[in-house]
Amino acid sequence: MNFVPHDYQRYAIDYIESHPVAAVLLDMGLGKTVISLTAIADLLFDSFEAHHILVIAPLRVARDTWPAEIKKWEHLKGLTYAVAVGTVKERRAALMEGADITIINRENLGWLIDSSGFPFDYDMVIIDELSSFKNHKSKRFQSLMKVRPKVKRIIGLTGTPSSNGLMDLWAEFKLLDLGERLGRFITHYRNDYFVPDKRNGEIIYSYKPMPYAEDDIYRKISDITISMKSTDHLQMPELITSQYEVELSEEESERYEELKADFILELPEGEVTAANAASLTGKLSQLANGAIYDDEGNIIEIHDRKLDALEDIIESANGKPLLVAYWFKHDLQRIKKRFDVREIKTSKDINDWNNGDIPVAVIHPASAGHGLNLQAGGSTLIWFGLTWSLELYQQTNARLWRQGQTSGTVVIEHIVTKGTIDERILKALSLKEVSQNALIDAVKANL
């Protein structure tokens, strides 16, 4: 696929290339991975300013997202990469490949630096989710600080760098600039910008910023920081749609293909039968989401791929409110079982969401009809399970993407299971194939 960057993406690419140290604050869905990879390719092959790159990311993002993006875009075909996750043997094998880019999950960063036995010879480091280094006492922070002076170029990517307040910023920027802007010591930073808040005698539990702190801190870091929330880089308001792809295991794929081909699936827990092509579309959608109703109405759980993806998205949001759209009742049950979420059903739910009191809310498209204003509470919608109804799809998106939305950008993220009917549904929606017949035909074409 050819990459034609939007203006804001070109701006971010140029910024990374021209700033050896940078904090790039990108909202979800704006393409931070392809932006970073494009800059990496330019620095490797055009300006020769980088030679060996380390990418540090959450586990599933390191294992799946970065490799998928490299393979997706035509202009990145020349990049070689190795994914250092899994067992020690697998990680060592990856390091021995000598690839242009080594991608590692942050939990294994300490192993790479302190125990792997391999020299740390990376001259450029990309930290995907800089906010996960906000604790200066964590092992990952301390390990990376040991080798930080060897790194010539370092980029921190995140959407919300200070979800818990300004105190988070010290460790994140210490990694980037070695304390040049916010000071070398957390105690000095704390004394300069904060006063004790909650305390019990001599024991201080929390701090609150001084009146001038926010402006002064932002001014000090502004020369190495850009934010894609800024109206300087995005036409307002703008709708960004993106996909978070997950992949079934071989066994799970076999079950999916069996159901698709035979209209029946034999499982140890029960039997699943699709009466016709229309019924089959629903069964395949359920299986793509991770669970399915058997012929007795019992829920059979097949996989957690989408739940894992939702966990990654919630983490990367760093407290930014998320609205999650589900389709099947078992989707809701499984989401509730794993996460602390709240359904949007009553007027109080709507008010609490719009007041910013609900970090993660869930909603069914059928209940997200005209006139339901949710734009004050957030600007990111996650589709956990898709609907074939274009009307319901557009109505649900319009709860956030509407006049009165205070955020500059609304992000619609779709969690899509590769190789399943999810891809067909998304394509049908994009082509405005609104009738159920279009999906039935699509299934038939795959049989």
For 417-436, the pLDDT digits (tens) are 999 999 988 988 887 544 33
Task: Please check the confidence at residue 18 and state whether its pLDDT lies above 70.
Answer: yes
In a domain, 270, yes or no: no
Q: How many CB atoms lie within 10 A of CB 336?
A: 14
**Structural contact between residues 182 and 224, judged by C-beta atoms closer than 8 angstroms:** no
Q: What is the mean pLDDT of residues 97-115?
A: 95
> pTM for the complete prediction?
0.65
Which amino acid type is present at position 242?
A: S
Considering the chain, what percentage of its residues have pLDDT values greater than 90?
Answer: 53
282-298 per-residue burial string, b: 16 or more CB within 10 A, e: under 16: bbbbbbbbbbbbeeeee
The reply to whether 416 falls in a domain is yes
Rg of the chain taking only CA atoms, in angstroms: 23
Phi, psi of 239 (to 5 degrees): -105, 125
More confident of the two residues 440 and 161: 161
pLDDT at 434: 40
Residues 190 and 99 occupy one common structural domain? yes
Distance CA(290)–CA(306), nearest Å, equals 7
Range of the domain at 38: 7-227
Average pLDDT, the chain: 86
| Contact indicator for 350, 372 with CB cutoff of 8 Å | yes
- The yes-or-no verdict on residue 116 having pLDDT over 90 is yes
Phi, psi of 232 (to 5 degrees): -70, -25
Euclidean distance between CA atoms 156 and 126, whole angstroms: 6
Q: In total, how many domains does the chain have? A: 2
> Considering the domain boundaries, does residue 280 fall inside one?
no
- Evaluate whether residue 196 is within a structural domain: yes
Q: Is 371 left (phi over 0), alpha (psi -120 to 50) or beta?
A: left
Percent of the chain, pLDDT > 70? Answer: 89
Q: Is the domain of 309 the same as that of 441? A: yes
Structure tokens given for 147: 């080798």
Q: How confident is the model at residue 214 (pLDDT cuts 50, 70, 90)?
A: confident
Cα 152 from Cα 124, distance rounded (Å): 6
Q: What are 172-201's pLDDT values in tens digits?
A: 999 999 999 999 999 999 999 998 887 777
> What's the first-to-final CA gap in the chain, in angstroms?
27
Mean pLDDT value across residues 380-398 = 87
Residue 321 domain-assigned (yes or no): yes
Q: Are 123 and 52 in contact (CB under 8 A)?
A: yes
User: Is pLDDT of 234 > 70?
Assistant: no
Domain-terminating residue out of 199, 227, 255: 227
**Does a structural domain hold residue 131?**
yes
* Mean pLDDT confidence for 69-88: 94
pLDDT higher than 90, residue 29:
no
Contact 158, 36 (CB under 8 A): no
How many residues make up the chain in this entry? 447
